[in-house]
Structure 1
Amino acid sequence: MGAVTSATEQPETPAPRRSAAVPRLIATDLDGTLLRDDKTVSDRTVAALAAAEEAGIEVFFVTGRPARWMDVVADHVHGHGLAICANGAVVVDLHDGGRLLEVRPLETSSALAVVHALRAAAPGTSFAVERTTGMHYEPHYPPFESDPVAMVAPAEELLSQDGHRDPVIKLLAFHDVLGPDEFLALARTAGGAHGSFTRSSPTALLEISGLGVSKASTLARCCAERGISPEEVVAFGDMPNDLEMLSWAGTSYAMANAHPEVLAATTRRTAANNDDGVAAVIEQLLRAVR
């Protein structure tokens, strides 16, 4: 990915070749990347996103969040208004109230196979099932927020087709004893034949999508539809669920606060999310084209 650069320490670095200096698309993760720790978008970042789109650069939000949790950035959408959610399982139109444009589901049989594999390999694992309409969880699973319409039942019941016509977009698995990276490695060994495993939480919380579903694969599909090559994409991320996207994009930046695996996999760095690292790079890119 080229030599190490820094948007904050070397703001006057000479602009690279035009193909890298003038991307056609910016793909950015949200939590730990574009958003500050208090889940807000800074004024500087809002201005940088607007300036990028005004310069003809599309901006895609690419996140592990479900579509219903995109209100945090909905007011800052410009241009096309598309977002890739649930680690690539869903593409939504934020200009149209989060309308689902594409769903890449986790088949029920595959989700059940993962549940059985992890129950055997990591006793004590608890599960949640994320459907397009909401999350349902087991009694011992720690929910992110109170949801009065959520079902609470064993995963096998939550995955039953009885009364459920909405597709499963993600299975979540939590362990309160194993370390996050230890749990991820164990789960991939036990159930990797049935789904794509990743994580974005500092806790031992895993996110399982359908085989082949990732931020990278859905971003690649969206870019191909627009005639945009990987070399024309600049990506930002901080956690293991960003790794494939960062490897796919022609230019990638790890946040200063990124997970060690992300820092090891990228050569470019920018400031931490609380210090507007994404905005700093966008400002630098726009200076190069003026």
Structure 2
Amino acid sequence: MVPPLAVDIDGTLSRADRSIDPRVLDALREWDAPVVIATGKALPFPVALCQFVGIPERVIAENGGISVVDDELLVHGDRDAADAVVRDYEEAGFDLGWGELDLANRWRETEIAVSHDAPLDPLSAIADDHGLEVVDTGFAYHVKSPTVSKGTALTDVAETLGVPPSSFVAIGDSENDVGMLERAGESFAVANADELARRAAETVTEGEYADGFLEAIDAIRR
């Protein structure tokens, strides 16, 4: 029997340009156990991925700030606190870096994402003043509660599914995946993973991005 699977999107199911590698779609659809899509993206993105793949909508979004599992919505983060950081950041003369439309944050409910083009040091200092933290996902800086992570969300999702988090295999590539990699019973970091993810994972694949994901699930099946 294959174990439940928790997997990141960007850098793990994607190519280097962040586009989804189509080979992963059938691999997810054919996985004979619960699949949880765990991402730093806002909730609509992983929900849509599940719908297009044709699997149940079991997702962890916004770095653990919000989750959906078996028609239950679990909210862990605090958007109002993140908005307060943004107000102070902008009053200090800085910008989130996404332009006027800001699709990066339009649907976020529990955190704020800031472009890598924006200055990090003042953002981190202001977040710290508000009791929040900044996590670098490799694609953006995320302002969030320090008690929120993919790892804590995986524990809650697993409980809802009636299984321990240690029954999961987790696959990821970034700092925001560390909690998930540590709480799963088995863990893989793809070869393009940052140092924190590589240290947290039991196994680092030879392949990068989606190649690494496919390598990992082949190993799990064996």
Query: Which TM-score tier does this pair reach, normalised by the shorter chain?
Result: 0.7 to 0.9
Q: Which residue of 2 aligns with 1:66?
A: 42
2:208 matched residue in structure 1? 272
CA contact (8 A) 1:24 1:228 kept: no
User: Which structure: larger Rg?
Assistant: 1
1:237 paired to 2:216: no
Q: What is the SS of the residue equivalent to 1:169?
A: coil
Aligned equivalents of 2:133, 2:201: Cα separation in 1: 22
1:111 paired residue number: 82
Aligned residue runs from structure 1 range 126-275, under 5 A: 126=94, 140-143=95-98, 146=101, 168-174=109-115, 176=117, 183=121, 187=124, 191=128, 194-202=131-139, 205-270=140-205, 271-274=207-210
What is the alpha-carbon distance in structure 1 between the residues aligned to residue 40 and residue 108 of structure 2?
17
- Give the unaligned 5+ runs of structure 2: none
Which one has more relative contact order, counting CA pairs under 8 Å at least 6 apart?
A: 1
Deviation sequence 1:194-244 (CA, Å, 0-9, x none): 224312135xx4212234111111111010222322321110111111111
Q: Is the 8 A contact 2:151 2:183 kept in 1?
A: yes
Which range moves more in the overlay, 191-200 or 219-228? Answer: 191-200
For residue 112 of structure 1, report the CA deviation from its aligned partner: 5.6
Contact 1:188 1:197 in 2 (8 A): no
In the alignment, what sits opposite 1:76?
Answer: 53
| CA RMSD, 1 decimal | 3.5
TM-score normalised per structure 2: 0.79
Q: 1:43 to 1:111 in 2, by over 3 A?
A: closer
Count of paired positions: 219
Name the CA distance, whole Å, in 1 between partners of 2:50 and 2:98.
22
CA contact (8 A) 1:62 1:87 kept: yes
- In 1: Cα distance, 2:125 partner to 2:180 partner: 19
Q: Relative to structure 1, is the Cα distance of residues 52 and 91 closer, same or farther in structure 2, using a 3 angstrom cutoff? A: same
User: Which one-letter code corresponds to 1:60 in the other structure?
Assistant: V
Counting aligned pairs with the same residue, the percent is 26
Distance change (3 Å), C-alpha of 1:283 and 1:266: closer
Please list the CA deviations of residues 165-217 of structure 1 after superposition, one character each: whole Å capped at 9, or x if unmatched: x9841123456475x6xx49x82796176224312135xx4212234111111
CA–CA separation in structure 2 for the residues paired with 1:31 and 1:145: 24
Q: SS of the residue aligned with 1:244?
A: helix
How far, CA to CA, are the matches of 1:177 and 1:39 in structure 2? Answer: 20
State whether residues 23 and 234 of structure 1, in contact with CA within 8 Å, keep that contact through their aligned partners in structure 2: no
Letter in 2 for 1:31: D
> Which amino acid in 1 is paired with 2:11?
G
Partners of 1:192 and 1:254 lie apart in 2 by 33
1:231 alignment partner AA: S
Q: Is the 8 A contact 2:192 2:208 kept in 1?
A: yes
